[in-house]
């Protein structure tokens, strides 16, 4: 299931790139900063078939990304639980047992 979703994800990503590159430019950067304002956004809200395909492919891309994250085969438990399990070793491995150092009033632990 995971590998099927991964192949589908890659195909959708490739199609999304192709469809975006096929679309007509709506203006250049210079018009956004004081040129003809209407030419930046194109004619009043006309959606072409390429624009609609871009919307659907973008939605499908995001949905597949979430599904891939949820169904990853190496994912067993929460990463937070794994992070906490690594710090459960005793902190006094290098110290002598039975002796606890007295706290120092100085931040570096040195006594002037």
The two structure tokens encoding residue 81: 């639980």
Per 3-state DSSP, the chain is made up of helix, strand and coil in percentages (nearest 5) of 55, 0, 45
Enter the pTM of the model: 0.53
Band of the pLDDT at 1, cuts 50, 70, 90? Answer: confident
Averaged pLDDT of the chain: 74
Number of alpha carbons in the 13 Å side-chain half-sphere of residue 34: 0
Confirm if 50 and 23 have CB atoms less than 8 A apart: yes
Tell me phi and psi for residue 106, to 5 degrees: -100, 145
- pLDDT digits over 93-109, tens only? 555 556 666 666 667 65
d(CA 50, CA 85): 50
């Amino acid at each position: 299931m995971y590998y099927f979703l991964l192949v589908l994800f890659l195909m959708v990503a490739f199609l999304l790139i192709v469809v975006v590159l096929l679309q007509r430019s709506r203006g250049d950067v210079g018009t956004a900063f004081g040129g003809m304002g209407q030419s930046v956004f194109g004619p009043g809200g006309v959606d072409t078939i390429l624009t609609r395909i871009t919307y659907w492919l973008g939605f499908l891309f995001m949905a597949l990304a979430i599904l891939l994250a949820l169904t990853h085969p190496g994912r067993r438990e929460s990463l937070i639980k794994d992070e906490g399990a690594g710090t459960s070793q005793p902190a006094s491995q290098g110290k002598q047992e039975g002796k606890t150092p007295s706290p120092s009033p100085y931040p570096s632990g040195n006594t002037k």
